[in-house]
Amino acid sequence: DAKTTQPTSMDCAEGRAANLPCNHSTISGNEYVYWYRQIHSQGPQYIIHGLKNNETNEMASLIITEDRKSSTLILPHATLRDTAVYYCIVYSGYSTLTFGKGTMLLVSP
Amino acid sequence: GAVVSQHPSRVICKSGTSVKIECRSLDFQATTMFWYRQFPKQSLMLMATSNEGSKATYEQGVEKDKFLINHASLTLSTLTVTSAHPEDSSFYICSARDSGGADTQYFGPGTRLTVL
């Protein structure tokens, strides 16, 4: 039973912002929204996570709606190296990470 | 971010042999580590949860006698694929939960196992 819904694929031009949406309408009060990405033939890389406030780090920004039913990961200036599968996962810290199909982001020149 | 290493990164072995994969958390302690498997064009599937000093918990359908897990210290977990067969060929990835941080899981780079 998928707890998140993401588009299968997205395209983005190099240098532009990439906005990746995620729906998590059944999220529980103690669950965080985590984002990971997996570049081909590598292990997943942690990007960012948040509970209810918007978060920003050196990699990305995470915008969570007030009702916490959806969120958007923003890569402000996408590069070719950002081409990867991006996973949005709801996680309480004491459960296990369950990976769905994610969004395949293709950044083009 | 925290660093998790895996060794080896790639291994090719003959059918019937056993292969050991090591997973280390380099700059944090991990009471809990996880082992995943990923087949081509598929997402990661959790195989087992490894807790330091106790027996691993296996997901349904994963044979515990075939995939031996040892988590003897707070920075090292090992997965041994016993009597490997071609159908065990896959990408094996470990992760470690940073108990001292926000329980974030950090992943290793993965081990590509090919069984001939």
**B105 in contact with A at a CB cutoff of 8 Å?**
yes
In the prediction, which pLDDT does A1 show? Answer: 45
Distance from the B33 Cα atom to the nearest Cα atom in chain A, whole angstroms: 10
Scanning the structure block, which residue is given the tokens 């200036």? A77
Residues 74-93 (B) with a CB less than 8 A from some CB of A: 91, 93
- Residue A48 contacts residue A60 (beta carbons within 8 Å): yes
- At residue A81, the 3 state secondary structure works out as helix
Average pLDDT, chain B: 93
Choose the closest CB to A101 out of B43, B91, B107: B43
In the prediction, which pLDDT does B110 show? Answer: 97
Q: Do B43 and A102 touch (CB under 8 A)?
A: yes
A61-64 and A55-56 beta bridge pairing: antiparallel
Distance CA B42, CA B92 (A): 13
- Residue B52 contacts residue B84 (beta carbons within 8 Å): no
Nearest alpha-carbon partner for B111 in B12, B4, B34, B11: B11
Per-residue model confidence as pLDDT tens digits over B23-44: 999 999 898 999 999 999 899 9
- Residue A21 contacts residue A6 (beta carbons within 8 Å): yes
Distance CA B101, CA B99 (A): 5
In the prediction, which pLDDT does B14 show? Answer: 96
In the prediction, which pLDDT does A19 show? Answer: 98
Q: Do B110 and A45 touch (CB under 8 A)?
A: no
In the prediction, which pLDDT does B1 show? Answer: 66
Structure-block tokens of residue B11 = 């291994």
Nearest alpha-carbon partner for A99 in B59, B115, B57: B59
Nearest residue of A to residue B45, measured between CA atoms: A99
What average pLDDT does the segment B5-15 reach?
97
Distance CA A37, CA A89 (A): 11
In the prediction, which pLDDT does B4 show? Answer: 96
| Predicted confidence (pLDDT) at residue B72 exceeds the cutoff of 90 | no
Positions of E strands within A39-83: 45-50, 55-56, 61-64, 70-75
Structure-block tokens of residue A68 = 């916490």
Question: Residue-wise pLDDT tens for chain A (109 aa)?
Answer: 458 999 999 999 999 999 999 999 999 888 999 999 999 989 999 999 999 999 999 999 999 999 999 999 999 999 999 999 999 999 887 778 889 999 999 999 9
